[in-house]
């Protein structure tokens, strides 16, 4: 059987960054699925509020300090996150290592504050519908912070190993930075729902 070469792809790099990477598309699909979950939780919150005679149900409005502190930490993390994405695209190993250490610390910080955020809601998860949806929303977002933190810690270990200076790892760091932006972006409407709508 006679075969002919249509196109020589041997000079293409084995891995790509951004839209040239299958991992990037997988991360994007994951964010779309999870974003739907966040949107549904907000819709349920607003629906329950529309049925209630007063809101919140049988509880005072949540304390602003813990939720606002988490929000400030997440927004502050965007600058180093943008920088680490840029350094990963430049394949600058030293800066990526420093950036991953910083992002690991910035991933732990909101989790510490969130320990105080749950009791600041002034309601338990099983008290009524308001308590349930509030805890679901906080729990859902906390799970995503933990997920990204674990990914960041694994990448930090990899970048300090012999596998660090590898084009594929830089792509993983860039994709992880994109996911952290998603974690921050999804929190902002949830913060408004949980902390400011009850004060209207």
What's the CATH code of the domain at 100? 1.20.120.80
Site of tokens 């930075």: 177
Q: Is residue 3 part of a domain?
A: no
Over residues 29-54, the mean pLDDT reads: 95
| Residue 106, in any domain of the structure | yes
Domain count of the chain? 1
Q: What is the pLDDT of residue 96?
A: 97
Residue 8 lies in a domain: no
Q: How far is the C-alpha of 188 from the C-alpha of 75, rounded, in Å?
A: 9
Task: Answer yes or no: is 4 within a domain.
Answer: no
Residue 149, phi then psi, degrees to nearest 5 = -60, -45
- Whether 28 is in a domain gets the answer yes
User: What pLDDT sits at residue 9?
Assistant: 65
pTM: 0.89
154-162 mean pLDDT: 94
**At residue 5, does pLDDT exceed 90?**
no
Of the candidates 83, 107, 87, which has an alpha carbon nearest to the alpha carbon of residue 159?
A: 87
For residue 13, is it within any domain?
A: no
Residue 11 has pLDDT above 80, yes or no: no
The tens digit of pLDDT for each residue in 164-183 reads 888 889 999 999 999 999 99
Residue 10 falls inside a structural domain: no
Contact by Cβ (8 Å): 148, 179: yes
Residue 135 maps to a domain: yes
Q: 157: closest CA among 146, 174, 169?
A: 169
Question: Using one digit for the tens of pLDDT, what is the confidence trace for 55-72?
Answer: 999 999 999 999 999 999
For the cut 70, the answer to whether the pLDDT of residue 86 exceeds it is: yes
Q: If pLDDT is split at 50, 70 and 90, which confidence band does 13 have? A: low
Domain that holds residue 117: 20-199
Question: What is the percentage of the chain residues whose pLDDT exceeds 70?
Answer: 96
Checking if the pLDDT of 12 tops 70, the result is: no
Task: Name the pLDDT band for 1 (thresholds 50, 70, 90).
Answer: low
Residue 14 pLDDT more than 70? Answer: no
């Amino acid at each position: 059987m006679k075969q002919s070469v249509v196109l020589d792809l041997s000079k293409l790099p084995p891995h790509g960054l951004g839209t040239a990477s299958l991992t990037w598309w997988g991360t994007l699909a994951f964010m779309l699925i999870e974003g739907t979950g966040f949107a549904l939780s907000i819709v349920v919150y607003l629906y329950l509020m529309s049925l209630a005679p007063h809101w919140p149900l049988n509880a005072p409005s949540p304390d602003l300090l813990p939720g606002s502190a988490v929000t400030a930490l997440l927004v502050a993390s965007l600058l180093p996150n943008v920088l680490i994405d840029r350094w990963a695209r430049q394949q600058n190993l030293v800066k990526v290592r420093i950036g991953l250490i910083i992002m690991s610390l910035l991933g732990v910080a909101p989790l510490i504050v969130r320990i105080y955020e749950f009791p600041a809601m002034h309601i338990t998860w099983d008290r009524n519908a308001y308590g349930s949806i509030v805890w679901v929303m906080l729990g859902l977002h906390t799970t995503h912070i933990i997920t990204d933190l674990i990914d960041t810690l694994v990448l930090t270990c990899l970048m300090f190993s012999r596998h660090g200076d590898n084009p594929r790892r830089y792509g993983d760091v860039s994709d992880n930075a994109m996911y952290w932006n998603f974690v921050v972006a999804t929190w902002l409407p949830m913060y408004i729902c949980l902390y400011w709508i009850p004060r209207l």
